[in-house]
Amino acid sequence: MSLWNKVTAELVDVIEFVDPSRDTLVHRFERYNNEIKHGARLIVREGQQAVFVNEGQLAEVFGPGTHTLETKNLPVLATLKGWKHGFESPFKAEVYFVGTRQYLDQKWGTQNPLVLDDEYFGLVQLRAFGNCSYSITDAAAFLREVVGTSGSVDTGDVRGQLRSLIVTRFSDALADMKIGVTALVGQQGELAQLIVPQINADLAPLGIRLGQFTIENISLPDDLREEIFEYSRLNRVDVETLTRLKSAKAIENISLNAGDGAGIGGELAMGLAMASNLGKALDGAGPAAAPAEGYFVALDGQQQGPCTIAELGALVQQRRLLADTLVWRSGMSDWVRGADEPAVAGLLAQLPPPLPSA
């Protein structure tokens, strides 16, 4: 160090640190030969602690406030150096300023996919990311376990270790909760609450404590996500309503093309076949589904059938099956009006009323 630095060090009697970056965890205050004047003022701001280290041994920890550095205020350091009362010579010690505030907006995420064994979908790869905050709650422990001889430590120096620890505990929590991928989205909060105590138990020896912790997103491969969405829709679908809707749409498309007589027969057969196949595929999936054997209909004094829901829909569109038309299916004790049978009534409800007379 130059002669000028030595001279100015003798004149400086204020020890303080203001962090311009807001990312500094620890800063070592530099003095010429680590020499501090007796009676110097130490200014420790809110969100800081000052740690004195003498010849590699922690001597004192000061909290927020303005402190006068005298023998009576440094009992441990005085004992280490064998001072007597009234000793007022400069003393040598390293001063570390440790930030104890909350360090916000610390991102975390999985670099590699985690593997989850799901009951329905088998082995599933997923990724997760989120946000957290932490603070240094034990400056002495942090200085011993993390800082060592470094003159400065910032949030980037601990980010990798923190992220690795979070990902490990996140994976352990998934295994402990034993929930499927379809339930993960709805239980992100519970998962976070389970993880935080485990992470803090690991961080305690380092003098760090996790504050806020959020899981912002859990992502799955695109093909698996689409499969889960489709499974969810089918699991909640009203089969009878879906069958009616598909039948009505097929018949509506045929009606829109009714102006072209050349292809009506083929389109009608195709539409009825599609609706019929849908009805067979979903038959029995819900309590309101129509029976596989279909309905018999009384038309022009003759019994016709059995007819599927799709074929009944075609008869409704042709206005051959009306509210008073009698229908019957297996399990019914007698013939009933079409308007009194729920499955048929749903088809009749889709038929527009006659146009009003001019």
Q: Residue 219, CB half-sphere, CA atoms under 13 Å: how many? A: 12
User: Same structural domain for residues 264 and 310?
Assistant: yes
* pLDDT value at residue 287: 37
User: Same structural domain for residues 120 and 190?
Assistant: yes
In DSSP notation, 82-124 reads: TPPTT--S-EE-EEEEEE-S-EEEEEEE-SS-EEEEETTTEEE
User: Same structural domain for residues 89 and 107?
Assistant: no
Angle CA 332–338–341, to nearest 5:
50
- What does each C-alpha distance from 334 to 102, 316, 337 come to in angstroms? 77, 21, 10
Domain boundary among the residues 99, 114, 131 is at 99
Q: What is the domain-level CATH number for residue 201?
A: 3.30.479.30
Q: Domain for residue 325, yes or no?
A: yes
Q: Domain for residue 354, yes or no?
A: no
Residue range of the domain that includes 129 = 103-225
Angle CA 309–312–313, to nearest 5:
85
Angle CA 326–329–335, to nearest 5:
35
41-44 and 14-15 as β-strands: parallel, antiparallel, unpaired? parallel
Contacts of residue 147, Cβ cutoff 8 Å, sequence gap at least 6 = 26, 96, 153
Alpha-helical segments (H) within 42-185: 75-81, 139-142, 155-177, 181-184
User: Same structural domain for residues 56 and 79?
Assistant: yes
C-alpha closest to that of 92 among 155, 27, 45, 40: 40
User: Same structural domain for residues 129 and 84?
Assistant: no
* pLDDT value at residue 241: 57
Q: Domain for residue 311, yes or no?
A: yes
Q: What is the dihedral of CA 84, 88, 94, 97, to 10 degrees?
A: 110
User: Same structural domain for residues 335 and 262?
Assistant: yes
User: Same structural domain for residues 145 and 185?
Assistant: yes
Residue 126 in contact with residue 182, Cβ under 8 Å?
no
User: Same structural domain for residues 131 and 180?
Assistant: yes
* pLDDT values of the chain reduced to their tens digit, one per residue, 358 residues: 454 444 444 444 788 999 888 899 999 988 766 677 777 889 999 999 999 887 778 888 999 999 887 766 665 555 555 544 444 556 677 899 999 999 999 999 998 888 888 877 788 888 999 999 999 999 999 999 998 878 899 999 999 989 999 998 888 888 887 777 777 767 888 888 889 999 999 999 999 999 999 998 888 888 877 777 666 665 555 555 555 665 666 666 665 655 554 444 555 555 555 555 545 544 444 334 445 458 999 998 889 888 888 888 888 888 888 989 999 988 888 999 988 988 888 888 877 766 676 5
User: Same structural domain for residues 210 and 123?
Assistant: yes
Structure pTM? 0.58
Domain boundary among the residues 72, 99, 126 is at 99
What is the C-alpha separation between 139 and 96, in angstroms, rounded? 9
Q: How many domains does the structure of the chain reveal?
A: 3
* pLDDT value at residue 182: 73
User: Same structural domain for residues 252 and 335?
Assistant: yes
What is the C-alpha separation between 327 and 339, in angstroms, rounded? 9
Sequence length of the chain is: 358
User: Same structural domain for residues 296 and 210?
Assistant: no
Query: According to the 3-state scheme, what is the secondary structure of 189-241?
Result: HHHHHHHHHHHHHHHHHHCEEEEEEEEEEEECCHHHHHHHHHHHHHHHCCHHH
Q: Domain for residue 230, yes or no?
A: no
Q: Domain for residue 13, yes or no?
A: yes
What is the C-alpha separation between 22 and 210, in angstroms, rounded? 18
Q: Domain for residue 243, yes or no?
A: yes
What is the C-alpha separation between 163 and 4, in angstroms, rounded? 45
What is the C-alpha separation between 273 and 270, in angstroms, rounded? 5
What is the C-alpha separation between 263 and 253, in angstroms, rounded? 12
Q: Domain for residue 232, yes or no?
A: no
* pLDDT value at residue 227: 74
- What does each C-alpha distance from 236 to 184, 188, 199, 232, 256 come to in angstroms? 18, 23, 38, 7, 31
* pLDDT value at residue 148: 82
Q: Domain for residue 172, yes or no?
A: yes
User: Same structural domain for residues 20 and 65?
Assistant: yes
Domain boundary among the residues 99, 115, 135 is at 99
3-state secondary structure of 286: coil
